[in-house]
Amino acid sequence: MRLFLTGVGCVGKTAIGRRAADLMGLTFYDLDHEIEIFFNTSIERLQARFLTPHSYRDEAAKALLHLLARPEGQNSVIALPPSGLMGGYLRAVKRFGGLVVALWDEPMNILKRITFYDIDSRPIERQLTAEEKRLYLREIQKDMTYLGKTYSRAHLRVDIDGLDVEAAARRVKESVEVYAAAKAATGTESGKSEQRHPADGGTKGSGTGERPFAAAADADR
């Protein structure tokens, strides 16, 4: 099984994906990390080489194609960038196939996980002011609106509001199992499914290591 996780920056794709992979007996890959290895440079430095987000995605997608062509990429969970269902990324996903899961959380929960990095992908300690939090919350909401159109391409939308990493990973696993069982029963994968559950616990920071939104969807971290 190959599982792609998508969602806005800092929704928890890396932390949840890594734990979900453990639970499902799969190998986890963070595409941002794979891109940096493939091009031997940081995400931000690579982005600076291109005039448009579209051209950057087409180039960065080479790392995804390389990963998907490797035998170890067949049974895996791959955390995509926020724009992972656009441009070159989407073409790679369609070419090799897999189950696409979009993670959804409340904007305020996402804000609590916000993480900053320098140009070389080193974490930066930063305390946001009340005004900065307000501005970043607005950017999160904009990203959710803009990117939500692309996430409609996912097979599953999993709501992780109120869940810590462990509970969210288990919800992903359970949702995938339900979807796979339904697909086996009907012999089709044309349908989409939305998995919503009551919250079962307080929100905890996921420690995703994803970049915040930088002005929009194409921050890609």
Give the DSSP letter string of 100-169.
EEEEE--HHHHHHT--EE-TTS-EE--PPPHHHHHHHHHHHHHHHHHHHHHHTTSSEEEE-TT--HHHHH
- pLDDT at residue 127 is higher than 80: yes
User: By the 8 A CB rule, do 48 and 39 touch?
Assistant: no
Distance between CA atoms of residues 176 and 3, nearest Å: 9
CATH number at residue 83: 3.40.50.300
The domain in which residue 86 lies consists of 2-219
Please tell me the total count of domains within the chain. 1
Specify the pLDDT at position 154.
97
pTM score, whole prediction: 0.85
Q: What is the mean pLDDT of the chain?
A: 88
At residue 194 the predicted structure's pLDDT band, cuts being 50, 70 and 90, is low
pLDDT tens-place string over residues 64-118: 999 999 999 999 999 999 999 999 999 999 999 999 999 999 999 999 999 999 9
